[in-house]
Structure 1
Amino acid sequence: RNVYTCEHAKVVQVKTINESYSDDKESIRKRLAESDQVISELLHDGRELIQDIRVANDKREVERRIKEAEIREELLDKLQTESVEAIAKFESISEKWAELKELKDPMSINDELELQKERIKGLMKQKDIIIVECRDELKLADARYTKDLHKQAADIHSLVERVDSQIEIMKRTFKEHLDLLENTIEEERHTLRSVASKKWDDLYTRRAVNERIKMKQEKERSEFFRNEIDRIEQEHIEITRATRIRLEQDNQALEIELQKVKTNTTLNSEKLDYNFQVLKKREDENLMVRNAQKRRLTKLNETIFVLRRKIKDVQMSCLIETEKLSSDILKLRANISHMTTKVNTFAEVNDRKIAYQLYPLTTAMSVTKL
């Protein structure tokens, strides 16, 4: 009966140790689950922060493109309308030149020339106004582009700050939860060791008492108890070894998870670097577009300068032609006056000759009548 009692106590002791180990491992699982939940929430919050900035940036970019398209369409319509009006005025001016060539009166020619000058000035003024509007629109576009660059830089800076802050929070959280997990494992290991040691001490004490009381009666059973003790010690060693292996496996799993988190953090950093390079490339492309627009504006200014010079040459040639025509008119008037004088002189001379020739005849006729 005593042997059965000791064996039963040993079996109960082993079951109690296994149950305690299961409870201890459950607390470790609970700690891992809590850490996983906290880290998942932090990762979700970080993704939401980055997504908010990305959505806001995309929305602002769409609005900017829509606004630029509207402004560009309005400016093109205005340029088209102005071009049609300018062509109509230019054709009208060209037709007036043809009509001006047919005029003979110098005063009318002068009046028409003044009107032509006013028309040309009006056309040039219209061109100057549309050029000023184009320049103002370019300045506004540059201002909007600079403002968008500042906003984009602010968003990138905010994103970098948020990512850095999130990384620091993640590092701190990982460290805190790793410390908590290590403390939990250490506490559970210490508790398990203490409970097992205490229970084994109680068992050894009871065994020693029973051996002292029944030494003489149970010498033949001492070998049995010794074998049982060896078996229990071996089981304890196996349990301790299994516990150590499991704890080491859990520790390795945690290290693997930590390495995965570090890898994800590095990947996110590389993604951020890639996005930064993409944004920088877009900025370079925008700079190239801006330089192309500047070159186009310079070419337009050169074209305007050439047109102005041609108009000036036309005005100068018209002025020279007008002066030449005026000189020809004066010469014609002088020639007409000279010819009129000659005609009058010839008429007087002819009258005198006729009178001189008719005088004898008239005298003879008078004598005959008498």
Structure 2
Amino acid sequence: MFREQRIASRRSRIAEKIATLHAGEATGDDKAVSKEELGKGRQQVSDSQSRLLKLKTERDLDVSAVRVTGDERESQRRSKEEEERQVLRERLLTEAESSVQLNAEVASRWGHLFRLEVPQELHQEMLSQQAACDTIIASKDAIVAAMRSELHDKDDEYVRMLKQQGEDVDLLLLNMGKQLEDMQTAYRNELAQIDDAYMQERAEVVKSNRVEVEGLFDKRSSAEQAFLERYMAAAEAYERQLEDLRCADAEDYNLLKVRLETDIQTLEQHLESMRAAYQLNQEKLDYNYRVLLERDAENQATITQQKRKISKQRDLLSTLMQRYSQHEKKFAEANMRLTEEYKHITEHFKDLQAKFSHFQQADLNKYQAIWQMKQEEVHAVAHKLLAADRVIHEQQLGWQWQGPDEDALLAGPHSPQATRTLAGCMKKTSSQKAGKEEEQAAEEAVSQDEVTTRLQEPTYFGALQLLCDEAGFLVDSKAHKMLASLPKHQDEQLVHAESVVKALGVTDGASFDALMAALSVGEPEGTGSQSMGDPTLIHPADAVNRLRDFVEAENEQEQEYWQRLGNVVDDKLCRVYGAIEKNLQSYHQLLKDRASGLRQVEQMQQANQELRALLNQYLASPVNKELQIPPTQVL
């Protein structure tokens, strides 16, 4: 209901804007009458504002259409998701009720089975009981399959949703860019027309209307600045809304996924416990049934000799039944106790595993942050050294500077991102750094998906089996316990192989291909493209040595990377720099001596001027006329 109201209000606002535009066009004839009264300049400003307002409204409608479409699609998706959730909840409740009824029926039949003494009837009842148990297990399996299918559908839906949101953002950016270009073009055209009109009007009344024209230009500039500020504020608001919506959807999806996975694990544990109980009861019944058949055969063969022992056999049978009941009760209690211990140990193991994953991820993030920080510092220093080297070559030595390839020099050992140039790194703004972190997170997710995809390819099953057999010691004891608790199928091998691969430090497709090349016949250092056929594996005795070489090669690449950064300027250039420094120091001392001499010359010139002025003053003094021999006669 709320969504329909929002859509209706939005449509009404759009209709009002369109009506306003039509009304503005209808009044065009009335405005034509007052053209002569307003003047050419003002009329052109009015027409330009009308056209710009119309163009802005049309472009705003184009941009808003993307958001309206996204809101409507998201509302439909949530409604559909709520309906599917209700259907799944009703199905779970129905299955739980039917399972409780079937369990009650199965439990009620045990007493009847214990009272039967005829083997044929007991056999028929046991078959019926087994069929009822199979029905319950089949119902549980169907629910588990439905939950897994629903989880897989949710994963696919999330991928499609991210892709659609990316397309919406691209379309929104395209419309915004188109709107900006159209508005810029329109503003330029309208500004040109306004300038022409004002120039014509200025030629007519240049002296009387100069102040008015300047006021109009100031008003127009203020309007343009205000419009630009409003446009930038609206764009930033739209971007923040899109980011908030994306984060909220991702959090809802993660919560739903965790809840569904928890429900599946609980149902699987309950199913395994029920299977174990049913299997134990079935084995007990089969054993008792075979014992009864053997006794019946013996009794039929020796029926005539054993009539005197019927009472004794009945006593023995009652004793055995009582003992069987005691043992069954004892085993049931032991089973319940062990089940509770198993649940407690499982929960404790999950807590430890969650803590281990948390601290492991925290350490990895800290290591990557420190690595990135040091790498940026070293890149900055290397850039300064290269800039200083270029200045010395071109300005001091007069040589043509041929610097090293910065892309190859600054190439890192871990990811393709490290091959970017240092100049590009220094020009990144703070907003671009945030985008860089998001790109790194997306690339890490893509790398993890590449490793998972390669683990599931049949081409690598042989290499993964060899890796699990020869490098299984790399997996810790906790991971071994978790692998032992998994069911015996192919997923166990995949989980084991994934644990070994992570222990070797393989995080992306390139490192995985290098690991597979190390386990294949040929050069272990090769990191070529993925082979299309089944690779020829090495002998198991050489697997550990190849893996050791693989890990050492990773460490050597890191050492080579840091040594390469530390040797940006070689020893030969350092010696040249030393000689240049000595010569420049000598030249600097010479310049200082010259500056000191110039200052002394200036002081002497100033003293001479003062003496000359004093002498002229003495010569021009009236006292000289009273002397018998004036100084002027001597001079």
Query: Common fold, TM-score beyond 0.5?
Result: yes
1:112 corresponds to which of 125, 148, 152: 125
1:60 pairs with 2:73: yes
Matched residues in 2 for 1:176 and 1:317: separation? 95
* Structure 2: gaps spanning 5 or more residues: 1-34, 311-635
Matched residues in 1 for 2:162 and 2:179: separation? 25
Judged with a 3 Å threshold, the aligned counterparts in structure 2 of structure 1 residues 78 and 342 are, in CA distance, closer, same or farther, namely closer
Higher mean alpha-carbon deviation, 248-257 vs 56-65, is at 56-65
Matched residues in 1 for 2:245 and 2:174: separation? 17
2:212 corresponds to which of 230, 243, 246: 246
Q: Which residue of 1 aligns with 2:57?
A: 44
Q: In the TM superposition, what whole-angstrom CA distance separates every residue of 1:70-122 from its partner, at most 9, and x where no partner exists?
A: 22222222222222222222211111111100111222222222221122112
Task: Please list, as runs of the form range in 1=range in 2, the aligned pairs for 1:315-354 lying within 5 A after superposition.
Answer: 315-323=282-290, 338-340=305-307
Q: In the TM superposition, what whole-angstrom CA distance separates every residue of 1:282-304 from its partner, at most 9, and x where no partner exists?
A: 23213422431333323332332
Q: 2:117 aligns to what SS in structure 1?
A: coil
The answer to whether the Cα contact below 8 Å between 2:113 and 2:122 also exists between their aligned partners in 1 is: yes
Matched residues in 1 for 2:101 and 2:299: separation? 37
The answer to whether the Cα contact below 8 Å between 2:151 and 2:257 also exists between their aligned partners in 1 is: no
The answer to whether the Cα contact below 8 Å between 1:24 and 1:188 also exists between their aligned partners in 2 is: no
Q: 1:104 aligns to what SS in structure 2?
A: coil
1:259 pairs with 2:225: yes
Q: Which has the higher contact order (CA 8 A, sep 6+)?
A: 1
Q: Which has the higher helix share?
A: 1
Judged with a 3 Å threshold, the aligned counterparts in structure 2 of structure 1 residues 307 and 61 are, in CA distance, closer, same or farther, namely same
1:140 pairs with 2:143: no
Task: Please list, as runs of the form range in 1=range in 2, the aligned pairs for 1:141-160 lying within 5 A after superposition.
Answer: 141-160=154-173
Judged with a 3 Å threshold, the aligned counterparts in structure 2 of structure 1 residues 341 and 322 are, in CA distance, closer, same or farther, namely closer
Task: Please list, as runs of the form range in 1=range in 2, the aligned pairs for 1:7-18 lying within 5 A after superposition.
Answer: none
Percentage of matched positions with identical amino acids: 20
Matched residues in 2 for 1:136 and 1:180: separation? 65
Q: CA deviation at 1:174?
A: 1.5
Judged with a 3 Å threshold, the aligned counterparts in structure 2 of structure 1 residues 99 and 341 are, in CA distance, closer, same or farther, namely closer
Matched residues in 2 for 1:248 and 1:110: separation? 109
Matched residues in 2 for 1:337 and 1:24: separation? 138
Q: In the TM superposition, what whole-angstrom CA distance separates every residue of 1:259-296 from its partner, at most 9, and x where no partner exists?
A: 00110111122112212211221232134224313333
Q: Which amino acid aligns with 1:38?
A: R
Task: Please list, as runs of the form range in 1=range in 2, the aligned pairs for 1:1-370 lying within 5 A after superposition.
Answer: 26-192=39-205, 240=207, 243-292=209-258, 293-323=260-290, 338-340=305-307
Q: In the TM superposition, what whole-angstrom CA distance separates every residue of 1:167-216 from its partner, at most 9, and x where no partner exists?
A: 221122112212222232223223445xxxxxxxxxxxxxxxxxxxxxxx
User: RMSD in angstroms over aligned alpha carbons?
Assistant: 3.0
The answer to whether the Cα contact below 8 Å between 2:41 and 2:198 also exists between their aligned partners in 1 is: yes
Q: In the TM superposition, what whole-angstrom CA distance separates every residue of 1:110-143 from its partner, at most 9, and x where no partner exists?
A: 2222221122112212222232233333333433
Greater Rg by CA:
1
Matched residues in 2 for 1:72 and 1:332: separation? 61
Q: CA deviation at 1:38?
A: 1.0
Matched residues in 2 for 1:342 and 1:306: separation? 43
Matched residues in 1 for 2:276 and 2:174: separation? 58
Judged with a 3 Å threshold, the aligned counterparts in structure 2 of structure 1 residues 328 and 94 are, in CA distance, closer, same or farther, namely farther
Q: CA deviation at 1:31?
A: 0.8
The answer to whether the Cα contact below 8 Å between 2:106 and 2:129 also exists between their aligned partners in 1 is: yes
Matched residues in 1 for 2:154 and 2:250: separation? 17
Q: Which amino acid aligns with 1:133?
A: A
The answer to whether the Cα contact below 8 Å between 1:46 and 1:166 also exists between their aligned partners in 2 is: yes
Q: In the TM superposition, what whole-angstrom CA distance separates every residue of 1:14-41 from its partner, at most 9, and x where no partner exists?
A: xxxxxxxx96972111111011101111
Q: In the TM superposition, what whole-angstrom CA distance separates every residue of 1:248-268 from its partner, at most 9, and x where no partner exists?
A: 111111110110011011112
The answer to whether the Cα contact below 8 Å between 2:119 and 2:289 also exists between their aligned partners in 1 is: no
Using the size of structure 1 for normalisation, the TM-score is 0.65
